[in-house]
Amino acid sequence: MEIGEYSKQAKKTAVYPDKGEGNFVYPALGLAGEAGEVAEKIKKILRDDGGELTTSKREQLSGELGDVLWYWATLCRELNLDPAEVARRNVEKLNDRAERGCIKGSGDRR
Ligand SMILES: [Mg+2]
């Protein structure tokens, strides 16, 4: 699915206070929460399953990553950012870093 189409579909299921009125706080908190759910499931794979990624756990992670995507797309919309443009610019930034040999390291502006 193309990211712009996904964003349109995600909008249909968005229900929260001040939706579509620049309420970036709600989806930002949701994004952090869902990213935490991904991390928690991976932590439990290490703790309970010896690091073995089963088909079931992979499916659960797929669901959580979908939740991350939903909040990401929703946050883009509340910030009046085009998700496809955000994705394009990220690829452009990473390709530039790769070409300059500075994928590793830290700092937003390297
Ligand atoms: Mg979730």
41 near 60, Cβ under 8 Å? yes
- CA dihedral (12, 14, 20, 24) in degrees, to 10, reads -140
Tokens of 103: 């994928």
Domain range summary for the chain, segments of one domain joined by + = 3-81
Going from the Cα of 74 to the center of ligand 1, the distance in angstroms, rounded, reads 15
Span of 34-43, 45-54, 69-78, 96-105 with lowest mean pLDDT: 96-105
Going from the Cα of 36 to the center of ligand 1, the distance in angstroms, rounded, reads 9
Going from the Cα of 76 to the center of ligand 1, the distance in angstroms, rounded, reads 18
In the predicted model, what is the mean pLDDT of residues 23-49? 98
CATH of domain 3-81: 1.10.287
The answer, as to whether pTM is greater than 0.85, is yes
Tens digits of residue pLDDT in 69-88: 999 999 999 999 999 999 99
Q: Which of 63, 68, 83 is nearest to 6 (CA)?
A: 83
Going from the Cα of 107 to the center of ligand 1, the distance in angstroms, rounded, reads 29
Going from the Cα of 34 to the center of ligand 1, the distance in angstroms, rounded, reads 5
